[in-house]
Structure 1
Amino acid sequence: MDFRMPMQLYRGQEHVGLVTSYSSDQPWAMGRVEDFDTARGERSKRAALFNRWLNEHEDDPPEDDAVYYELLEQEMARRDVDQVDLDWCERGVWTIRTQDGINHPVYSLDFLGDRFIQWRW
């Protein structure tokens, strides 16, 4: 693979942005994304922050499902994130096109916040 910068990030056929830095700690890779759509990038950032909050609180959820879902809705509203944004970040077929023009599948893509992503090749 040709790891020269920038590499192009795609979600399906949508060209999302450029990976402008790259590092690898096998089996994980990480890079910073320059989003073509800055509004989309901001929504991804808010979704990443919500997911971080959710992961920090996964060990102490309310026992009542109704209370749990109400808490999630309140937190999503507070962070100005919706299910569409979460699904966009968590689902989809992601690929990175390296400088040699080859598309490489990306697995377990995770938005970390501050425009950084982590994935497995």
Structure 2
Amino acid sequence: MGLDNFSGVRSYQPGDPIRHLAWRQIARVDPALGGNLLTKQFEGGAVAELGLDFSQLPHQLDVELRLSRMAAWVLEAERRALPYSFRIAQHYYPPANGDAHQAACLRALALYGQEAFT
């Protein structure tokens, strides 16, 4: 990861790396209501770390929608072979990718809210 400064966001353009997507801003807008994808821009081309954090999703969204978004992001990061960190409740998985990481993250999502999970 580079040390260059974040300079803002812009509309997503095909070919933008998934690791540059502005996840927090995207999560705040429902695509069904006309929202669109946004890409982070950095001075000097630094790469942003991909971190998926359930607590950063807007709380006004229902739990099932937040869980669904997290699952979609895990699958997309894996599809693109991008390392990502994952956090939900007290569970944190450091940046990685691959079958075991994906399975652990999806299991945490599936068990969210169950007594054995918390």
TM-score (structure 1 length as normaliser): 0.24
Higher strand proportion (structure 1 or 2):
1
**Greater RCO (CA < 8 Å, at least 6 residues apart):** 1
TM-score (structure 2 length as normaliser): 0.24
Larger Rg: 1
